[in-house]
Amino acid sequence: MSEPRAASGAALPQDPTSAAWPDAAVIARLANALFQAPPNQAPPSSTNAPLGAQGIPLAPQTPITTPAPTVTTSAAPWVPGNPSAGPPDLPPTTIPSVVPTPSVTAPQPPSQSSLPPGLELPQPGSSPGAIGPQAIDLQAIDLQGAPQFNLGDAVYFAPPDRRALDAAPGRGAAGDEPAAYFLSEAPFASHHAPQPPTPQSARPPSATPTGSGDPTPLDAVPTQNYFLNADATPQPPRPDVGKPSADFAVMAPNLRPVLTPAFGGGAHPFDPHAIKRDFPILQTRVHGKRLVWLDNAATTQKPQAVIDRLSQYYTHENSNIHRAAHELAARSTDAFEAAREKVRRFLGAPSPRDIIFVRGATEGINLVAQAWGRRNIGEGDEIVVSWLEHHANIVPWQQLCAEKGARLRVAPVDDHGQIILEEYEKLLGPRTKLVSMTQVSNALGTIVPVTEITAIAHRHGACVLIDGAQSVSHMPVDVQAIGCDFFVFSGHKLFAPTGIGAVYGKESVLAQMPPWQGGGNMIADVTFEKTLYQGPPDRFEAGTANIADAVGLGAAIDYLQGIGMEVISRYEHELHGYATERMLGVPGLKMIGTAKDKASVLSFVLDGHDPVDVGKALDQDGIAVRAGHHCAQPILRRFGLEATVRPSLAFYNTCEDVDALVAALKRLQSGAPRGRVG
């Protein structure tokens, strides 16, 4: 072993009396040698100052070789910048079908799967029991005699290195910017590590007012919403927050909701102001004012994570899917099928084969009307909808009834905008084939008890379709718990791109449905004599899919699940109550739709003002709302109206947004000039 040497190269003297430790003089000389100037540099002024024995710790005689520290990224495993975690779009091998009551934790890295054989051309008989291609027959589909094809759930390709993909154009090195606020702006984000799921029995987050005073527990606020307290455990007596001034759920006006996680969970606080910074368009200005986006029932804005994912797809993965042998086709196929798996998990569906990609909820309803309805609805049969429906859940059924000689029946609502369940059940009978209802009214915000609606329909032998366009962004959804046969939603109302949505269908129901449209992708074999179809979901996805926007939908779901739908629903419930209470203080304002269970929507009319004029006036203050009939004319006419003003909330809205709306309405009502600052 070589002797230790000083910076100059001279050997350092050793103490012959000890084999392990030098004496104080040796230590002093060692310290002086270590602090000498490097070659060709001037020595510091204190280099030759003597060091006392107590000035430095004792050290072993043999020098200790310390390896260079490993550089680690501060991002969570799924964030760009940690390629070892694998591609963010690959589905995990084990995924819970029900989202637990969350601590707000970063998503876990997905697992990777290897390329299975037979991707491009599935072979008959490869998966006994799978739904396979079928001979063309508009009158009947013979599942027994048709060859079977294995569409497979596995991911086909796992790229070995995502560094190039993770470096989005214009954003610097991979990992420079996090995909979501809670990985960078929350306290201690740089030390964040994945946390285990919070048990269902854990207490929910508590609401904290931003002003002075003691925190008010979230549980103190009245909650009639079935999806908030279904699994709640008994709690001790809670403080009284005051009697609501309306006949539906509101909260005390001095409570400004900002949720924080339960103590000890290790999760980041839910901060809507930080979330707002994840959405670039919310930083823009309109007519010189900061944009206040309160038109979320029409469409939602997109987080930077979704925008970046679309850019990454077009930069590194763009190709058609399923049929090519080259690398980009494999990447594109992986991303597309991973998005399907994310939708499955988000809805709690049993299998990705139950998920059909469509353009949106409207196309999804039309697909069911044409593929299922034309086969199962006959003359004299009945379809039941409600007064709350969007036109998209009325017109396709009217068209089908006109074609088949069937009858459309309508479940009534009370003066609060709630479906009268007793009257609904009276409509059902032996000729009822389908019940098709919304989960949340787009015009009133009423939350419909779809689990009860479905159970009643099934008792009468009817299938059930649930329109989830207005629900999926505001509350957890579990299609198996609901029990519905079909569930449809639009991606653009879920912070994803436009032009993409999904249909969930029970496997046993989809198996008996003929295709709606013909073309590529949905076929297994074509001759001039006959055509064999693929099994679901491919049978219903004719032509080139909207691959990029499906991938964007998957990114939006990642973003939402990183926060937690339970957390989002609780925060929005508080914010909705705050907004309701504040708006009731505007002179001449009347709320339309006062059901005790509501989400997002705050429709109103203002004395002396046309709704469209109110919308235009708010726009001049930078506040975006919808004014009109909202493609739901029947329910507005039920209340004697042709139009309302419709603000609608999302989880990036804040009490300041509500305050800006209320201040603008008060100025408008008083005739004062517009003057919102900022």
Choice among 463, 484, 631, 655 that is catalytic: 631
* Cα angle for residues 145, 148, 152 (degrees, 5° grid): 160
Reply yes or no: is the peptide bond before residue 537 cis, omega within 30 of 0.
yes
What are the Cα distances from residue 272, in Å, to 195, 256, 374, 571, 635? 21, 12, 46, 9, 32
What does residue 626 show for φ and ψ, rounded to 5 degrees? -100, 140
Half-sphere exposure of 454 (CA within 13 A, CB side): 19
Pairing of strands 501-505, 355-358: antiparallel
Measured at the CA of 79, the angle between CA 76 and CA 80, to 5 degrees, comes to 140
The distance of Cα 195 from the centroid of its chain, to the nearest Å, equals 19
Vertex 496 angle, CA 454 and 158, to 5°? 100
Q: Are 357 and 366 in contact (CB under 8 A)?
A: no
Q: Which two tokens stand for residue 280?
A: 């670039």
Strands 382-386 and 407-411: parallel
The residue among 644, 630, 674, 676 whose CA lies nearest residue 657 is: 676
CA atoms within 13 A on the CB side of 37: 9
Tell me which residue of 597, 585, 595 sits closest to 666, measured CA to CA.
585
Q: Which two tokens stand for residue 468?
A: 């989830």
CA distances in angstroms from 536 to 62, 130, 148, 316, listed in the order given: 70, 10, 12, 29
Write out the H or E segment, with its range, that includes residue 645: strand 644-646
Which tokens in the block code for residue 377?
Answer: 């609805």
401 is annotated as an active-site residue: no
Residue type, 124: P
Q: Which residues are catalytic?
A: 631
